[in-house]
Amino acid sequence: MDKGDQAEKMLLYRLQEGDEKAFEEIYLLYRKNIILQAYKLLKSRDLVEEVVQDVFTKLWSNRKKIDPNQVFEAYLNRIVRNHIIDLFRKMKRDQMLKDQLILAINESYDHIEPLLFQKENKKLISEALAHLPALQREIFILFKIEQKSYKELMEEFGLTKSSVNSHIYRANLFLKEYLQKHRKEDLILILIWAIFTQK
């Protein structure tokens, strides 16, 4: 057992005994990971904060049931996963919560720029760009990735501003739809969204 594992085990023993300082240390260690895990599915800061609060509340309530000899991160991830599943079930009965999730999903794809530079999206972006008409693809890359201005693009291609804007808008829309359809990590999200939006 390395020093890190031993330190974590001692932290968990302290947590079992009701040590609030140990709880605070665990909170600081794992909060970011829980936020990232929850945000991948929920796309809503408000819902993510609710998950974080509820997960750590449950952890404190069940602290005496924790086995320090088991992998704690896996245990914590299971709590997060089960809580999100419960939240989705609740959404089926709660129209306001359902609307909040759908709005968050829509807003998360409103702007393509942050997605362009995420490592896990690079292959998908390349695949999507290959499906665009040549001129539309070139204009999009120059504008979004190489940061060329409308004026530079108008001069380079001999197009009006509205024409340049049209190419960028259509490419942006296509990429947004392509990512929604193909991102593996969002597959469960898309399936749930489809179920929720059925009349």
Question: Which pLDDT value is given to residue 39?
Answer: 82
Q: Give the residue from 38, 62, 97 where a domain finishes.
A: 97
Residues 122 and 168 in one domain: yes
Q: Give the residue from 97, 122, 138 where a domain finishes.
A: 97
Q: What CATH number is attached to the domain comprising 58?
A: 1.10.1740.10
Q: Are 188 and 97 in contact (CB under 8 A)?
A: no
Q: How many domains does the chain have?
A: 2
Residue 71 forms part of a structural domain: yes
pLDDT averaged over 10-residue windows placed end to end, the chain, 199 residues = 75 92 92 86 79 90 90 89 78 59 53 48 75 91 85 92 89 79 52 41
Q: Could you give the angle at the alpha carbon of 177 between the alpha carbons of 46 and 111, nearest 5°?
A: 50
Q: What is the DSSP letter of 132?
A: S
Residues 9 and 45 in one domain: yes
Residues 78 and 117 in one domain: no
- Closest by CA to 9, choosing from 66, 47, 90, 79, is 66
Residue 38 forms part of a structural domain: yes
Residue 103 forms part of a structural domain: no
Q: Give the residue from 62, 97, 132 where a domain finishes.
A: 97
Q: What CATH number is attached to the domain comprising 135?
A: 1.10.10.10
Is-above-0.85 flag for pTM? no
Residues 84 and 129 in one domain: no
Question: Which pLDDT value is given to residue 101?
Answer: 55
Domain enclosing residue 7, as ranges: 3-97
Residues 125 and 66 in one domain: no
Residues 92 and 129 in one domain: no
- Closest by CA to 84, choosing from 195, 197, 188, is 188
Residues 85 and 153 in one domain: no
Helices (H), 17-144: 20-42, 45-61, 72-93, 95-108, 113-116, 122-130, 134-140
Question: Which pLDDT value is given to residue 27?
Answer: 92
Question: Which pLDDT value is given to residue 147?
Answer: 82
Helices (H), 110-186: 113-116, 122-130, 134-140, 150-157, 161-182
pLDDT, tens digit, for every residue of 48-89?
A: 888 899 899 999 999 999 998 888 988 998 888 888 877 777
Residues 8 and 88 in one domain: yes
Residue 104 forms part of a structural domain: no
Residues 11 and 75 in one domain: yes
Residues 93 and 113 in one domain: no
